[in-house]
Every structure is written in structure tokens, then in C-alpha cells.
A = this chain, B = another copy of it.
Amino acid sequence: MGRPAELRPQREEGREAGGHQQHGQRPAGREARGAGRTGRGRGGSHALVPARDNERLLTHETEVKGAFDRIEPFLRRLSAMQHEAGFVDRAQGMARSELGFELPQKVLDNAWIQQLDIRYLYAWCVFETYRAYADDFYRREPLAPDPAEKDRFQAWLQECGFHAVDISPCSDGRLAHVIRYVLRLPHGLVRRKSFAGAMFDVEASLKRWVETELNRYREGVPSTADAPTRYLKLAVYHFSSGEPATQGCAAHGSDTAVAAAAARDRLQDFQEAIENSFCCGASIDLLMVGLDTDTDAILVHPPDTKGDPDPERFVESEALFDRTQGLDAEAARERINEAVAAVASDSESGMRRFIAGLLENNFAQLAYVRAHHGGRYGDIGHNERFMGVGMGFEEVQLRNLTYFAYLQTVEEGAPDLDVGVKIFSGLNVSRGLPVPVVLRFDYHGQVPGARERAEARTRRVAEALRNRFPQLAEQGLLHNLMAVRDCGNNGTLEVIGSSLEPTGTGETH
């Protein structure tokens, strides 16, 4: 199958254009930008910003995104040399040394007949890069806190009055780093499940809560049931300060007020569900955070006297960050506490402490974005590298790497999938490149048959995905990698197949 050659020049032009890209188009020159902006920030040093953590996060972001972003320029060079003598051997050598893996031999071998199948190679490279990244994440744990930090976090959380934090951000790829980067929370200790518009599933959240509470009663983990701690549910909505009308939350029509009100309503629904389903004073605490996806600054909305987050009341991290520049740590923390107290006078003291902690944590991210992204991301719009469909993806803690569609079936998850495919139609399909989908279901290995059921589910969803987007699949413009993972034993990824098998020619797209 040939790709229209005339698409490629347009694509290259697109990449030369500077400035903020439109929604749904790849930003230009993103490969070089990270490096170019390093050190150019106006953040300077701040007493509450841990420089070492920022370096570590930068290394991770640079390495992972760098690996994904090497793919297109590499394939462009490959395309240019496909009719040269000794192409196949040179291509494999280049792939090994530049990308770290080999290309499918058959596709290279067949290039002289049909033209190099760039769609196939693109999907192949994205999947191999993803696989290496995920393997590395679970084997080397590049973002894991050290054990002391882990204990400190748990202790702090309990001092704030909580035994568990369950976070539901929007599934937008620009929030995928919200746990480990924006809020600087340990990703292994805090739950995340993303939904379009932060519209999390109340029944699924209820199930999580029940499991958490039973563990407290039966096993005293993370705290015993008689400890006066609570379960905290946090929803994260988002907006764009630079282009509010077009780069906000698509699920809420880029209307920040609507996004915030919807998050608050869903939080209240969840709280009410627990209160009505269980007696004896069962309840949870609620917190709402707004994220400016241009800058990673946050607004924290403390609960009011009734415990409800108020869209109108919030503490802003960025103003506070600027006001506390140059102060020593103690003085800066004092300012944060004052700002929180001014807005959250009716919240419990533990909740105020938690909010102050989030704001302080976010300072590190503000410094990070200023130092390494000029204070405002180059890609303020969508720029995800692949779609993540299924359950799991703990390894994805990077901004604009992944559009999430958390689902058990295509039948239920179709709306989120449609949004994702629309985003990638703008990013990839419009230029002739496929939508790369990583299909993935985590399972608990200690449950008999769970691995087999996860594998069956992955294959069933792959089939349903093809049925939902038959034209894209037919044209080789939708490819999937299928994987499962034993999350009970913190295992690595197990790839069980892909749409690129069994043949390397374009014929079976």
C-alpha cells in the first residue's frame, strides 16, 4: 500500500512553522525546544524548590519524549534514502544506533517494490519506543521516591487527616503528568484514573472506597479503622490561560466555569453515594484543583463549611510563588499558610495543611516550567504521542505523551475513544500517519485466571476498536499494540500482540 507522497512536503512545512500550534496539529520543532529553553527560565532559585528532584524529572522527560520525537526525523531520512544501494543494511544500522531497536526486515526488503511503508514503520517505532520506556519504568523506577520519602509522605498524609488520596484528572494528555510533576505526589501511593472532563465513574470510585475501607478494618492498612482519618477524593479540571476559548477542556467546550462546576458536582455525587449507601457516618473529604495547562500553575479550591469545593474560592499557586521568591523556607511556608487560611478559614486544619502542601509542591513545577519551558509550554495544545486505552498506564507521568481512554469495553468507552481519535486525526492522520494505540489491561496476578481474562479483554477491545473505526484500520491508519501487566506483583509489561503482526508488508493493513 502506498502513501501519497504529496502529503509529506506539507507535513514538513507544518513542522517549520513557529509559535503555538493549533488544536490538533503537531507543534513545530518540539525536538529541539526542550534543550533550547533549558536555563533560560526566569524562575531562578526558590527556597521551597528541590533542585535535585527537578533535575531528575527533567532527565526523565527529556529521555522519554526525546525517544518518541526521534522517530519522525529518522523516518524522514529513511524515506529519502530508500532507493539507495545497500539501503536495508544501512537502515538497520541507523535504527539500532539511533533508536535502539531494529526495524521489521520485511518492510525494508520490500521497499524497492512498493515504496517504504512509512505508516507501518511509524507505528512499529512508536510501539518499540513505548515498550522500551515502559520496561525501563518498571525495572529502573526512574520516578520512584526513595523509601524515606515514601514514609514521610504517608506520615504527612495521616497528619493531614487522610489515609488515602484518589485523584481523577481529565484524560487530556496535558494532565497526564499531574501526579508526579504538577502536584509532586508519589505516583505509587496516590491513585489516578483519568476521564474526559474529569467526569469519573461514581460506581467504580465507590468500589475503590469499599476496598480501601475493608483493608483498614481487616489489615490496618494504611491506617487502622479507628484512626480518625478520611478518604480524600480530588478532581482536577483544567483550562488554558493563554488561549482560554480554544485550548481548555474539550469535554466542557473550553468553558472553565462549566469544567469546574462539573468537577464539583461529580465530587458531591460521589460523597453522597457513600453517605447514602453506608450508615454510621461514612463519608469522604473532597478537594478540587484547577490546572492551567499552559504553565502548570494550579488553583486549589478548599471545601467550604459544608465540605463542598467552591468554584469561586481558590488559592492560586503562581502569584504565591512569585510573592515568596527570595524568602527563606520558613517565611515562604508562613506566607503559604496565610494565603490558605485567608481563603479556607472554615476548612479543617488538616485540610488546610494538605492544601498548603500541594501549593508548595507545585512551586517546584512552576520553577521547572520556567527553567525548561520558558514558563509556558511550546505545545499548549494537544501533542500526545499515542493513545492509551484500557486500564493501567501507571508509567505515564509525562505531559502530552498520552491521551487516556480508561475503559473496560469500547461499547461504554466510545465517547472518550472518539475524542481521542479526533485529536489524533489532527495530529497524525491529516499528515498520513497512523493513530498509535496502546491497548493495555493490568490485572492482579494473585487472582486465578486474571491474566487470561485480561488477555481476552485486550483482544476483545482490539477487535471492537477495529469495528468502530473500520476505515482507519483498513487504510493502516489505526494500529495497536496489545499488552497486559501484573500490577499485583509490580511486574513489567507483557506484550501479547499487535496489529502489525503477522506480516510486514502493507497488504494486511
Contact = CB atoms under 8 A, between A and B. Distances in A.
A203 B442 CA distance: 13
A149 interface: no
A35 interface: no
Nearest to A266: B449
B446 A282 contact: no
Given A210-B210, A214-B213, A411-B411, A219 B276 contact: no
A474 interface: no
A220 to B, nearest CB: 9
A140 interface: no
Interface string A401-428: 0000000111110000000000000000
A1 to B, nearest CB: 28
A444 interface: yes
Contacts of A268: 448
A469 interface: no
A207 B444 CA distance: 14
Interface string A223-245: 00100000000000000000000
A448 B217 contact: no
Nearest to A443: B203
Each complex incorporates copies of this chain amounting to: 2
B202 A448 contact: yes
B219 A278 contact: yes
A20 to B, nearest CB: 37
Interface string A462-491: 001000000000000000000000000000
A117 B447 CA distance: 52
A275 B297 CA distance: 45
A361 to B, nearest CB: 31
A493 to B, nearest CB: 21
Contacts of A448: 202, 268-269, 272-273
A460 interface: yes
A279 interface: yes
A84 interface: no
Contacts of A450: 202-203, 273
Interface string A273-296: 100111110100000000000000
B279 A449 contact: no
A279 B219 contact: yes
A447 B203 contact: yes
A94 interface: no
13 contacts: A202-B449, A210-B210, A213-B218, A219-B279, A269-B448, A272-B447, A272-B448, A273-B448, A276-B446, A277-B447, A408-B408, A408-B409, A411-B464
Given A202-B453, A214-B214, 14 more contacts: A202-B448, A202-B450, A203-B453, A206-B447, A207-B210, A210-B210, A210-B211, A213-B214, A218-B279, A218-B280, A219-B279, A268-B448, A273-B450, A276-B446
